Chain A
Amino acid sequence: MSTKDQVSVVVTGLGATTPLGGDVASTWSAMLAGTSGVRRITEDWADSLPVKIAAPAAEDPMPTVGRVQARRMDRCEQLALVAAREAWADAGSPTVDPWRLGVAVTSGIGGIGSTLTAYDTLREKGWDRISPYTVPMLMPNGAAGWISIEFGARAGAHALVSACASGAETIGYGIDMIRSGRADVVVAGGAEAAIMALNIAAFAVMRAMSTRNDEPERASRPFDKARDGFVLGEGAGVLILESLEHAQGRGARIYAVAAGAGYSADAYHISHGSPDGAGVAFAISAALRDAQISPAQVAHVNAHATSTPEGDPLEARALQSALGDAAAGVVVSATKSMTGHLLGGAGAIESVAAVLALRDRTAPPTINLEDLDDEVTIDVAAKARPLAPRGATGPMAVLNNAFGFGGHNVTLAFTEYVPEEA
Chain B
Amino acid sequence: MTDQEILAGLAEIIDEIAGVPADEVTPDKNFVDDLDIDSLSMVEIAVAAQDKFGVEIPDEQLKDLKTVQDVVNFVSKNS
Q: Are B44 and A132 in contact (CB under 8 A)?
A: yes
Q: Are B18 and A68 in contact (CB under 8 A)?
A: yes
Alpha-carbon gap, A67 to B17, bound state (A): 9
Decide yes or no whether B40 CB sits under 8 A from chain A: yes
Indicate which residue in B19, B41, B44, B47 contacts A67 across the interface (CB closer than 8 Å): B19
Contact partners of A128 in chain B: CB under 8 A = 47
Q: Are A129 and B19 in contact (CB under 8 A)?
A: no
Question: Shortest Cβ distance from A402 into chain B, in angstroms?
Answer: 34
**Closest Cβ neighbor of B45 among chain A residues:** A132
Question: Shortest Cβ distance from A336 into chain B, in angstroms?
Answer: 37
Q: How many residues of B contact A (CB 8 A)?
A: 8
Alpha-carbon gap, A71 to B17, bound state (A): 8
Q: Are A133 and B40 in contact (CB under 8 A)?
A: yes
How many of chain A's residues touch chain B, expressed as a range?
10 to 19
Q: Mark A45-70, 1 if CB is under 8 A from B, else 0.
A: 00000000000000000000011100
Q: Are A132 and B41 in contact (CB under 8 A)?
A: yes
Residue of A67, A128, A132 with most partner-chain B CB within 10 A = A132
Decide yes or no whether A213 CB sits under 8 A from chain B: no
Question: Shortest Cβ distance from A146 into chain B, in angstroms?
Answer: 14
Question: Shortest Cβ distance from B65 into chain A, in angstroms?
Answer: 16
Indicate which residue in B18, B19, B40 contacts A132 across the interface (CB closer than 8 Å): B40
Q: Are A68 and B19 in contact (CB under 8 A)?
A: yes
Contact partners of B44 in chain A: CB under 8 A = 131-132
Those of B36-79 within 8 Å (CB) of chain A: 40-41, 43-44, 47
**Closest Cβ neighbor of A134 among chain B residues:** B40
Contact partners of A72 in chain B: CB under 8 A = 40
Q: Are B43 and A132 in contact (CB under 8 A)?
A: yes
Contact partners of A129 in chain B: CB under 8 A = 47
Alpha-carbon gap, A132 to B41, bound state (A): 7
Contact partners of B40 in chain A: CB under 8 A = 72, 132-133
Given A128-B47, A132-B43, 5 more pairs with CB closer than 8 A: A67-B19, A68-B18, A129-B47, A132-B40, A132-B41
Interface residues, chain B, with chain A CB atoms under 8 Å away: 17-19, 40-41, 43-44, 47
Interface residues, chain A, with chain B CB atoms under 8 Å away: 66-68, 71-72, 128-129, 131-133
